[in-house]
A and B are shown apart, each in its own frame.
Chain A
């Protein structure tokens, strides 16, 4: 009895002790949890707050809308239109095969879409969406929207795609935009281009990239675990790029292109008063819209392999021997330097030889022009007169003077990709060929042949300088830029310099001579009673003839025919347009190139193209 009671007591004590120990264990275990919580919630609170913030807040760039481009009359030349594409974030998709099959039941997916998808899929970064379809139609968009919830990781993306409503007409002057490539990525400010897909690749689009692009905006959004945007927390809107207003007149541009017809060639027309580019055409052209979203391999190959080289911008990159078109400039150099006078004559027997040499430099007129003064030399384009003048002037003075007109250097036009041509000098020859300069070469330069190369743009600028009596103005395509919200368009500053040599009366003599070229000289066929034109024809050799050969176009293949050139400005007394035309393998400048220039000047000065369009409109 006693022991049972003792046992009971001992047992009660035992269990009570165990309960006490258990309580202590419980308290220490919960203390361990609390220590852990102190660590997480107090010590590392900031660290986890940042992680939590990173989880839910994503910063999205808001790309600015690219500036639009208008011609002189306010016609829209470069527009942005919304385009919807369907993108897949592969990391978010459970079964890609199944998703693609499902999508194909909703919207059309062509084999080339799949091919592009596969190609881009391999190059993408993690969690970077890959487009499966571009340019969704309205009905496809609607169909996908209804079923969108079934497609986790598939999203519609809206973006603004550049379009060029005038296509081929503006391809060489405006250029085009395209997807940013790796070299460009290394060059641009990545922050400002976050979210931007396109960048100017050529032409005005490239030259004015900074104005057209604008400032990127940002928005902070709250997203859930599946990446869906719940709400916008904060946003800084983007600033759209500036709209550009051009000097370019699309009607004139069209007239120039039509005037060139099927011929390969280029036209550059500028306003000599301000350097504004009125028309800049390289023929044939191409559709710049093909390049915006990435041109297909087949289309690109076709453009590259065409013998007409439609991608080649002849107006600013084509380098041709300027031929006789430079004779007025050389003539001015002669007058200004006192090497010749108005009255001094040179006898042209049809050829010219340097003293002590038997080699005959031929005049284009085999029978010779007889006695020629400066004006006659220009009007008749007598080669012998200019052989003699160049010979007496020497290469150093000749090339220095011609360089003053802008030859041998880029004009600085706001069209990307311009080339500078070549103004040969003694130094240039030593440097590139390690040879001395031969006097015979000076003669060739004097008539714009040999290694002397100029672009149609340079010829137009030099012609405008004559029209301005010595004022050389940098050509500009863009007249003004307008920032969004700004009331006033800011004019582009003029960049110009005066040619050092040449007095006013000397310039006037040269202008008079060029007027006579049209009135009764090599370009008389384009004479018009409506206004006075000052011009100069040129024919540049592609094929060198031997000493005793004659040039016979009928017997030569077309690609060896001479290039036809013509430079002009009008009206003579109040020049409003200066123009350079080149027709590759077009033959004589007077016959092939001058009429093209006349049509353009008519269109500009008389508005005949516009009048004709109005008539057609009324008739239809």
Chain B
């Protein structure tokens, strides 16, 4: 009964599943369109933020191209196959993190890079995908919501890479990886009292984390609490970024006319603080447009997760979408002074390659969840 039913459904999918050329390419058209719009906007902003340096824009465009290839490639992989490889990817990722701590290259005062002769890359980026895949693999084997032992195991499996990454030290990435784990549990329907318990536990270890932080990281938190404490030192970033955003007003100073960014008052203006450049040059209006694009992408991702065929797809698509949201929220929150300064880029806008590849690969997976379904919607 079930078998025939299944085959009938499959046939139905083949007959009626032809929903245009995008579907055959395993790409989700609305998501793809929004992402292209976002990236185009990002390149326009970057041109200004890099002081009209076309070479920078070109490099970013090449990275975007590579990242898109990853997205298209992963979109072709049926989630079921991806699921099989999840534990392997997780294991390799953790091993590489250990390797980085032992033999990694030092860049900007932190050990993050692994030189594989052919390419140098940050294994921590891999974990942004491997952790949600691993947890989704584990939890999808059983009925949802997960029971306590599995929640504990999921927590441990998340904490291992998070701690390893925090030791590099890379607070931004470890927060993103941790949030990936939390998001899987959330989407899996973790009961509210367990969410409460996790929150309490997090608060309890907060003091331990505080003393484990490096001085500069503690400075950032203190600076967040009172940026005027050291206006020329640690507080400088946030003060200048607030000035840039605030002076932009409703309409902004106009593209390429941001004085805070072009006269170099705004630090890290093409990377972590590019949101302030948008605020300055395009004003409140420009930011609303940007946030609208982000919101559309996130809602589309959540819709795909809610409609996914199987548990693995649901959990993975949901958590990857929510990690993308964490990027947006942490970055905009930090640049506007709502959150302390942690090194999280504005996704798909900030200049820089590694996170872009991971993000686009994530969207490839989400598209795969959407387009490899057997049953039609």
Contacts from A to B (Cβ < 8 Å): 7, 11, 14-20, 22-23, 26-27, 29-30, 32-34, 36-38, 40-42, 44-45, 47-49, 51-53, 55-56, 222-226, 230
> Which residue from B243, B250, B308 sits with its C-beta under 8 Å from A48?
B243
- Tell me the smallest distance from the CB of A226 to a CB of chain B, in Å: 7
B279 touches A14 (CB 8 A): no
B145 touches A14 (CB 8 A): yes
Closest 6 CB pairs of A and B: A48-B246, A52-B247, A19-B306, A225-B264, A224-B263, A14-B189
Closest to B190 in A: A18
A29 touches B284 (CB 8 A): no
A11 touches B260 (CB 8 A): no
Residues of A near B249 (CB, < 8 A) are 41-42, 45, 49
- Tell me the smallest distance from the CB of A293 to a CB of chain B, in Å: 33
B243 touches A51 (CB 8 A): yes
A33 touches B247 (CB 8 A): no
B259 touches A52 (CB 8 A): yes
Residues of B near A15 (CB, < 8 A) are 144, 187-189, 305-306, 308, 311, 314-315, 318
A22 touches B247 (CB 8 A): no
> Which residue from A22, A30, A44 sits with its C-beta under 8 Å from B186?
A22
A33 touches B332 (CB 8 A): yes
> Which residue from B245, B259, B318 sits with its C-beta under 8 Å from A19?
B318
Closest to B315 in A: A15
> Which residue from A7, A41, A45, A222 sits with its C-beta under 8 Å from B263?
A222
**Does B294 interact with chain A (Cβ within 8 Å)?**
yes
Residues of A near B284 (CB, < 8 A) are 37-38, 41-42
Partner-contacting stretch, out of B170-178, B296-304, B347-355: B296-304
B264 touches A224 (CB 8 A): yes
Residues of B near A230 (CB, < 8 A) are 263
A52 touches B243 (CB 8 A): yes
**Does B295 interact with chain A (Cβ within 8 Å)?**
yes
- Tell me the smallest distance from the CB of A253 to a CB of chain B, in Å: 55
Residues of A near B235 (CB, < 8 A) are none
- Alpha-carbon separation in the docked complex, A14 to B306 (Å): 9
B187 touches A55 (CB 8 A): no
A45 touches B318 (CB 8 A): no
**Does B181 interact with chain A (Cβ within 8 Å)?**
no
Q: Is the interface of B mostly helix, strand, loop or mixed?
A: helix
B333 touches A41 (CB 8 A): no
A52 touches B260 (CB 8 A): yes
Residues of A near B243 (CB, < 8 A) are 48, 51-52, 55
Residues of B near A49 (CB, < 8 A) are 246-247, 249
Known: A15-B318, A22-B186, A55-B259. A34 touches B265 (CB 8 A): no
A18 touches B186 (CB 8 A): yes
Residues of B near A29 (CB, < 8 A) are 325, 329
- Alpha-carbon separation in the docked complex, A49 to B284 (Å): 14
A23 touches B338 (CB 8 A): no
Residues of A near B318 (CB, < 8 A) are 15, 18-19, 22
Residues of B near A56 (CB, < 8 A) are 259-260, 263, 265
- Tell me the smallest distance from the CB of A68 to a CB of chain B, in Å: 40
Q: Is the interface of A mostly helix, strand, loop or mixed?
A: helix
- Alpha-carbon separation in the docked complex, A457 to B168 (Å): 86
Interface bits B329-345 vs A (CB < 8 Å: 1, else 0): 10011001110000000
- Alpha-carbon separation in the docked complex, A45 to B333 (Å): 18
Chain B residue total in the interface (Cβ 8 A): 50
> Which residue from B250, B260, B287, B305 sits with its C-beta under 8 Å from A55?
B260
B246 touches A45 (CB 8 A): yes
**Does B160 interact with chain A (Cβ within 8 Å)?**
no
- Alpha-carbon separation in the docked complex, A274 to B311 (Å): 111
A-B CB contact pairs (8 Å), 9 listed: A15-B188, A19-B305, A22-B322, A40-B337, A47-B246, A53-B247, A55-B263, A224-B264, A225-B264
A45 touches B189 (CB 8 A): no
Known: A29-B329, A33-B333, A56-B259. A48 touches B242 (CB 8 A): yes
Closest to B246 in A: A48
Residues of A near B188 (CB, < 8 A) are 15, 18
Residues of B near A33 (CB, < 8 A) are 291, 329, 332-333, 336, 338
B143 touches A11 (CB 8 A): yes
Looking at A37, A44, A226, the one whose CB has the most chain B CB atoms below 10 A away is A37
B302 touches A19 (CB 8 A): yes
**Does B244 interact with chain A (Cβ within 8 Å)?**
yes
Closest to B309 in A: A12
**Does B289 interact with chain A (Cβ within 8 Å)?**
no
- Alpha-carbon separation in the docked complex, A469 to B333 (Å): 92
**Does B248 interact with chain A (Cβ within 8 Å)?**
yes
- Alpha-carbon separation in the docked complex, A30 to B264 (Å): 28
A37 touches B287 (CB 8 A): yes
**Does B288 interact with chain A (Cβ within 8 Å)?**
yes
Known: A52-B244, A52-B247. A18 touches B263 (CB 8 A): no
- Tell me the smallest distance from the CB of A7 to a CB of chain B, in Å: 6
- Alpha-carbon separation in the docked complex, A52 to B245 (Å): 10
- Tell me the smallest distance from the CB of B236 to a CB of chain A, in Å: 10
- Alpha-carbon separation in the docked complex, A45 to B299 (Å): 31
- Tell me the smallest distance from the CB of B3 to a CB of chain A, in Å: 13
B288 touches A34 (CB 8 A): yes
**Does B93 interact with chain A (Cβ within 8 Å)?**
no
B325 touches A225 (CB 8 A): no
B299 touches A41 (CB 8 A): no
Residues of B near A17 (CB, < 8 A) are 189
- Alpha-carbon separation in the docked complex, A33 to B263 (Å): 26
Known: A18-B187, A37-B284. A42 touches B302 (CB 8 A): no
A22 touches B246 (CB 8 A): no
Known: A26-B295, A41-B283. A11 touches B336 (CB 8 A): no
Looking at B143, B247, B284, B306, the one whose CB has the most chain A CB atoms below 10 A away is B247
Known: A36-B336, A48-B243. A226 touches B299 (CB 8 A): no
Residues of A near B337 (CB, < 8 A) are 36, 40
Residues of B near A36 (CB, < 8 A) are 333, 336-338
- Alpha-carbon separation in the docked complex, A40 to B295 (Å): 21
- Which B173-215 residues have a C-beta within 8 angstroms of A? 186-189
B245 touches A22 (CB 8 A): no
- Alpha-carbon separation in the docked complex, A286 to B338 (Å): 69
